[in-house]
Chain A
Amino acid sequence: MKRAIAHVDADAFFASVEQSLHPEYRGKPLVTGLERNIVSAASYEAKALGISRGIALWDVKKICPECIILPSDYETYSLYSFRLFEILRQYSPCVEEYSIDEAYVDLTGVSRLHRKSYRMIAEEIQKTVNKRLGIGVSVGLSVTKILAKLASGLEKPRGITIIEETGLMEFLSRIQVGKICGIGPKTVELLEKFGVRTAGDFSKLSEEAVKRYTGKIGLELWREIKGEMVYKVEDLPSKRYSIIKSKTFTPPSSNREFIFAQAVRNLESACIKAQRHRLISKRLILFLRLNDFSHTSFKIELFTPTNSPIEFIKELRRSFEAIFDSTKLYRATGIALEKMREIKEKQYSLFDNEERTEELECLYEEITKMSERYGKHVVSAGTSLYLKRKTDSSRATKPIRKEKLLPGETFRKRIRIPVWEIGV
């Protein structure tokens, strides 16, 4: 193999972590997501019963009344995630943390170091992760990232799939084009019109055709599945940041002020995070998710980048009014701050009162200090008065890690070890 890119993907990650911490849950159907009333991860035992990510918990109870339902314990999951990446770094220094539970590892050339074939390294990664963390991973191995990702998804759980360049075409002709990461349902529909059903068909298209049907991204994917490397394994975190905050509420609502208050609360949460990392942004995306899971969104662009919610709120109101429809039921709002940059890189704008902006930044710095002492959102926009108090008791269920602090821990500062509670 001229290159060896591995995609390591944890199997049912959140559920596996819970099963690893609680041996009594092993082999049983288990889901996480109690705090949101929808499944955020399902164990393979639950998946076998037809339970999948995103379905409502009352449906889970209908399908399987004895299913174990837990609140998501993101802190512990991120500790496991951190350890998973540390294990991968023992095999190659070039590891890209792609999401909480998956990573790309550039293994090119390291077979000499480990005196093992790439397949043996993949097997060893799988074994080590299982032994040390008690969770299963699937490994895909190929010459490009897209092919590696495609491979890891083929034989889950605990699979090892290698796509070599020899026989690549024959292999691709057996794969649905929608399996390629980055080709969504809309593109699949479009490609079908032109007789493209399999990844093999897609790879046989001419460069012009690919460009016409799928644009620049599609062209990159096309090169990748033909074995030509376009995407490098990025072992350094990207410099372009974005912050996304979204919250689902139950029951769904069509109350204008309540939903707007939800959006503002997300904006405030996003801004608090931005302030903590000393980042500013001028592009904001508001999205509203409807009860039928469809969504609408609106992009806002300010002249001058900032991280004070007040600067965004006026524009947010305007765009909210533009997309909000009071005859419909909404279940979530979300805010994304995009193209963030460091606070020191700021071009002042002609159309804003820059002195006021800087004063607001000072004000928000003080508010952040107060939040650290008295809790998040202790000072917030007036619209938050429309937020209702939490009533649903299951939503208040917290993971153990949040309920019980270890000696010396505070809410924000934690000792980085998972807690294992043994029932007596």
Chain B
Amino acid sequence: MNASISKNDFMNALTKVASALPSRATSIYALQNILLEFKEGEGAIRISATDLEVSSVVDSPATVQEEGSLAVIGSKLIESIRELPDDEIILSSSEKNVLNLKSGKTRFNLRGVSREEYPTLPVLTGEKSFKVSSKVLKEAIKKTIIAVSVNEARTFLTGAYFTIVDKKIRLVSTDGHRLALSDITAGEIGKEKKNVSVIIPARILLIAAAAFEPDEKITISLSETHVVFSGETGRFSGRLIVEKFPDYQKIIPKKFETSIKINRQVLLDTLRRVSVYSTGEMTPVSFNVKSGKIFLHAESPEFGDAQDEIEAEVKGPAIEINFNSKFIQDVLKVLTGDELNIEMSSKIAPALFKTDNDKEYIYILMPLRG
């Protein structure tokens, strides 16, 4: 077993794989390892990690002189590589299950375990597959992930619903208070027009979104129980949440009373200012929507209050409504266009947020009680 690799490439690949390492120290000890496979034919070191929920496999280009494999503790390997002085690292194994790392005058001998002691990653054959560009996928994940629930009590809301609607891939997420919906038009859906409805855990979406470079062609494969995202960077797979997603279409309102056009950045800045006085878990901010203007007000029982106003184009009746400031800031941060449209009906009904720039995206938010 012998190979040389650039420190930068290796580090980059290891970080992408490391997100699949188990986070808790109490899980199966063998899973704390990262599996290294030296592949002479492919001129690469294959790096794998898994916590049995998600797994990541990344090929890092390397000059492989002799094939071989072993597994070493992931955190220690990353710590070692980070500290090595030179850009070129020589990896070898002179003794069974020991990884020798050489860079400049530094020598590390990292004890590991044989490949047989490392769990075999399931080889997944996706029954349905879709192709998208990584740029579009990353963007859609970024905009959808904000509404995923963090409450473990409802597992089916801790992921994004993946479905096909009008020949488009659709991602939907909701935590019960808000809902984010992204359509991906620039994708190849092949023959899979119907009957695709799965819930992909937020974690695997985040891992994939972070790992892929912006210009890759990604294949998303689905089986009954698993999803695999594969591209040039590597393969990221995870177990699906096999539960029923709520009927989201029922809760998307069809018509609204008041419609507002407002500058997104101005609203975000104003909201940030006012929110200094919007304390507590709910961070409430009240919106007083009048013709041509919106007055914002936040009040904290401990500290005092804040007021501000913004010019806006308002159609329809005036309305007073309260929102969780954080929930609005979340969406304003991921949108890109300047002209924001907000539609609302009453202080107890959902409001809708969208911009002309992000045509394939809507965000629905329920108000707070005043």
Contact = CB atoms under 8 A, between A and B. Distances in A.
Interface of A: 212, 299, 301, 303-304, 341, 343-351, 354-355, 358
Nearest to B252: A350
Shortest Cβ-Cβ A-B pairs, 4 listed: A348-B366, A346-B369, A303-B176, A301-B153
A212 B26 CA distance: 7
B324 A350 contact: no
Contact of A350 (B26, B178, B368): B178
Nearest to A304: B176
B367 A348 contact: yes
A351 B251 contact: yes
Given A299-B153, A347-B368, A348-B177, 19 more contacts: A303-B176, A304-B176, A345-B281, A345-B284, A345-B369, A346-B368, A346-B369, A347-B369, A348-B348, A348-B367, A348-B369, A350-B176, A350-B177, A350-B251, A350-B364, A350-B366, A351-B176, A351-B246, A358-B348
Interface in B35-69: none
19 contacts: A212-B25, A301-B154, A303-B176, A341-B281, A344-B369, A344-B370, A345-B282, A345-B368, A346-B368, A347-B368, A348-B348, A348-B366, A348-B367, A348-B369, A349-B366, A350-B176, A350-B366, A355-B348, A358-B348
A350 B174 contact: yes
A347 B366 CA distance: 7
A354 B251 contact: no
Contacts of A349: 176-177, 366
Most buried by A among B179, B246, B350, B366: B366
A352 to B, nearest CB: 9
A303 B282 CA distance: 15
A358 B176 CA distance: 18
A348 B364 CA distance: 12
A354 B26 CA distance: 42
A347 B282 contact: yes
Contacts of B364: 350
Interface string B112-128: 00000000000000000
B280 interface: yes
Contacts of A343: 369
A346 B176 CA distance: 13
B195 interface: no
B94 interface: no
A339 to B, nearest CB: 10
A390 to B, nearest CB: 37
Q: How large is the interface on B (under 10, 10 to 19, 20 to 34, 35 or more residues)?
A: 20 to 34
Contacts of A299: 153
Contacts of A301: 151, 153-154
Nearest to A349: B176
A347 B369 CA distance: 6
A347 B176 CA distance: 10
A347 B177 contact: yes
Contacts of A354: 348, 366
Interface of B: 25-26, 151, 153-154, 174, 176-179, 246, 251, 280-282, 284, 324, 348, 350, 364, 366-370
B367 A350 contact: no
A354 B178 CA distance: 14
Most buried by B among A303, A348, A349: A348
B251 A347 contact: no
Contacts of B25: 212
A393 to B, nearest CB: 44
Contacts of B367: 348
Most buried by A among B178, B251, B364, B369: B369
A354 B346 CA distance: 12
Nearest to A283: B153
B96 to A, nearest CB: 29
Contacts of B176: 303-304, 349-351
A345 B350 CA distance: 17
A301 B176 CA distance: 12
Contacts of B178: 350
Given A345-B280, A345-B282, A350 B369 contact: no
Nearest to B364: A350
Contacts of B366: 347-350, 354
Nearest to B327: A347
B179 A350 contact: yes
A312 to B, nearest CB: 15
Nearest to A345: B282
B242 to A, nearest CB: 19
Contacts of B154: 301
Contacts of B350: 350
Nearest to B284: A345
A303 B151 CA distance: 11
B157 to A, nearest CB: 10
Given A212-B25, A303-B176, A354-B348, A348 B153 contact: no
Nearest to A211: B25
Nearest to A344: B369
Contacts of B284: 345
Contacts of A350: 174, 176-179, 251, 350, 364, 366
Nearest to A305: B369
